[in-house]
């Protein structure tokens, strides 16, 4: 499905990409010059510099503009000292070449700080599954102290730090009014190992958790429309409206050593490790506003604010051993459905190095709130109780902050 959507987004992007014209200039190399500065003006006096850039090549390509009439060049030596400018050269716009515009491909690496709703849900489901079976053990071996009281403690944290890589592309119309982007992202973060501890009457349950890396695969397609791009107002011309589709899947594998004590009986000495597999599929839409400002065709700032809404489903498969008082293998499978809403804030700074290459620095803060609407637990041995009857928390919060460095190549 995600590959179909990727192909569809590429097709839409290419349809939006319109033709535009570029001018190519070439000059003789200057002895001792390590790079060159190029200036373009509407007059041969160069009182009004309309475009300026630096390059290490002896040729340059830039977008055609009717006001571009003259160009001149100067060499820059190894010490950064600029020489005298050449005589002005008339730009023959009749030689402008038609090209497809506004397209680039990019590669990005990110540092992420992740408050994982998946880890939170994983631990809660696992503990409620244990509690479910402990209720069965108390039917067979009642509490020595009588009564029922449940408390929970532990040091397993859903605060994660990790890395992500991204591949994608930007495609825009020549007018710039339509901007669309697709992203394929892979996030890795390893939870710290820890323990959880429950107390039910005089019964004590201890679990030691060992986690594999939490992995999230993410696909995004976003379309932005800037209706006032030609406005004379600096702020209004950068205002845009955007909407997009987001698909993500999280996978987590873990093992656990568990034992339970109801003095003077030990129910499970934790001889065999117990395995957990968890996945969560979340699909949501984003709709919001964006601001985009460009300075001297070299620097660009982007800000976005989106509301997120969608659906989620997941499953926790739990294979373990229960002692009542003899040891038996058992398994538990919990599935759940949830409504999702949240907010996405992002901020980017783009530096166009030259006509072909650029870098972008970004910050993104995404919060998703999960409201569980349905959950079912099935045990091979033990009671079969829905999680919400055991007092599960109906909401989960997932927050992902990322700091990214991106390189892009202009097509």
Q: Looking at the structure, tell me whether residues 82 and 184 fall in a common domain.
A: no
Q: Looking at the structure, tell me whether residues 41 and 145 fall in a common domain.
A: no
pLDDT digits 0-9 by tens, 27-73: 888 888 989 999 999 888 898 898 888 888 888 877 777 788 888 98
Task: For residue 404, list its beta bridge partners.
Answer: 110, 362
In a domain, 6, yes or no: no
Q: Looking at the structure, tell me whether residues 189 and 55 fall in a common domain.
A: no
Pairing of strands 395-410, 104-115: antiparallel
CATH at residue 359 = 2.40.128
Q: Looking at the structure, tell me whether residues 247 and 109 fall in a common domain.
A: yes
Helix, strand, coil fractions of the chain, as percent rounded to 5: 10, 60, 25
Does the N-terminal peptide bond of residue 264 adopt cis geometry, omega within 30 degrees of 0?
A: yes
Cβ burial of 264 (10 Å; 0-12, 13-18, 19+) is: exposed
Q: Does 317 score more than 60 pLDDT?
A: yes
pLDDT digits 0-9 by tens, 322-376: 555 555 666 777 788 889 999 999 999 999 888 789 999 999 999 999 988 887 7
pLDDT digits 0-9 by tens, 199-221: 555 566 666 667 788 888 999 99
| Residue ending a domain, choose from 100, 119, 144 | 100
Q: Looking at the structure, tell me whether residues 144 and 267 fall in a common domain.
A: yes
Cα separation of 240 and 228, whole Å? 8
Q: How many CA atoms lie within 13 Å of 241's alpha carbon, on the beta-carbon side? A: 2
Q: Are 188 and 162 in contact (CB under 8 A)?
A: yes
Task: For residue 116, list its beta bridge partners.
Answer: none
Q: Looking at the structure, tell me whether residues 39 and 167 fall in a common domain.
A: no
| Residue ending a domain, choose from 71, 100, 129 | 100
Q: How many domains does the chain have?
A: 2
Q: Looking at the structure, tell me whether residues 110 and 95 fall in a common domain.
A: no
In a domain, 7, yes or no: no
Q: Looking at the structure, tell me whether residues 151 and 79 fall in a common domain.
A: no
Cα separation of 100 and 17, whole Å? 6
Q: Looking at the structure, tell me whether residues 184 and 211 fall in a common domain.
A: yes
CATH at residue 68 = 2.60.40.10
In a domain, 13, yes or no: no
| Residue ending a domain, choose from 46, 65, 100 | 100
Provide the residue range defining the domain that includes 78: 19-100
Q: Looking at the structure, tell me whether residues 49 and 130 fall in a common domain.
A: no
Q: What is the pLDDT of residue 325?
A: 54
* pLDDT mean across residues, the chain: 76
Share of the chain above pLDDT 90, in %: 27
Question: pTM for the whole thing?
Answer: 0.69
- For 177-241, give the DSSP string: SEEEEEEEEEEEEPPPPEEEEEEETTEEEEEEEEEPPEEEEEEEEEEEE-TTTT-SSTTGGGEEE
Average pLDDT over residues 239-268: 75
């Amino acid at each position: 499905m995600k590959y179909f959507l990727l192909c569809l987004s590429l097709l839409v992007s290419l349809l939006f990409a319109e033709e535009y014209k570029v001018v190519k200039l070439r000059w003789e190399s200057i002895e001792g010059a390590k790079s060159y500065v190029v200036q373009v003006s509407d007059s041969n006096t160069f009182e009004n510099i309309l475009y300026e850039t630096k390059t290490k090549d002896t040729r340059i390509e830039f977008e055609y503009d009717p006001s571009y009439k003259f160009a001149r060049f100067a060499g820059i030596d190894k010490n950064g000292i600029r020489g005298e400018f050449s005589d002005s050269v008339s730009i023959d716009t009749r030689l402008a070449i038609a090209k497809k515009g506004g397209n680039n491909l990019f590669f990005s690496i990110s540092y992420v700080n992740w408050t994982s709703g998946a880890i939170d849900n994983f631990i809660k489901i696992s503990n409620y599954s244990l509690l479910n079976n402990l209720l069965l053990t108390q039917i067979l071996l009642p509490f020595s102290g009588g009564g029922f009281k449940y408390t929970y403690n532990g040091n397993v944290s859903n605060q994660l730090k990790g890395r992500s890589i991204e591949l994608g592309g930007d495609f825009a119309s020549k007018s710039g009014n339509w901007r669309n982007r697709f992203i394929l992202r892979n996030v890795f973060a390893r939870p710290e190992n820890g323990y959880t501890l429950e107390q039910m009457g005089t019964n004590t349950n201890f679990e030691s958790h060992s986690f594999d890396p939490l992995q999230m695969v993410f696909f995004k397609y976003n379309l932005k429309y800037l209706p006032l791009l030609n406005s004379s107002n600096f702020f209004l011309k950068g205002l845009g409206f955007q909407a997009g589709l987001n698909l993500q899947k999280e996978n987590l594998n873990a093992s656990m050593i568990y034992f339970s004590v109801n003095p003077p009986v030990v129910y499970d000495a934790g001889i065999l490790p117990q395995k957990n597999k968890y996945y969560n599929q979340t699909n949501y839409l984003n709709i919001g506003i964006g601001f985009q400002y460009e300075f001297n065709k070299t620097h660009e700032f982007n800000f976005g604010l989106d509301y997120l809404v969608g659906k989620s489903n997941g499953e926790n498969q739990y294979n373990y051993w229960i002692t009542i008082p003899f040891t038996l293998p058992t398994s538990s499978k919990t599935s759940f459905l949830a409504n999702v809403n949240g907010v996405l804030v992002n901020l980017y700074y783009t530096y166009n190095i030259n006509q072909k290459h650029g870098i972008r620095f970004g910050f993104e803060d995404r919060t998703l709130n999960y409201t569980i609407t349905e959950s079912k637990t099935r045990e091979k041995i033990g009671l079969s109780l829905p999680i919400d009857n055991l007092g599960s928390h109906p909401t989960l919060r997932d927050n992902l902050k990322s700091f990214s460095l991106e390189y892009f190549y202009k097509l």
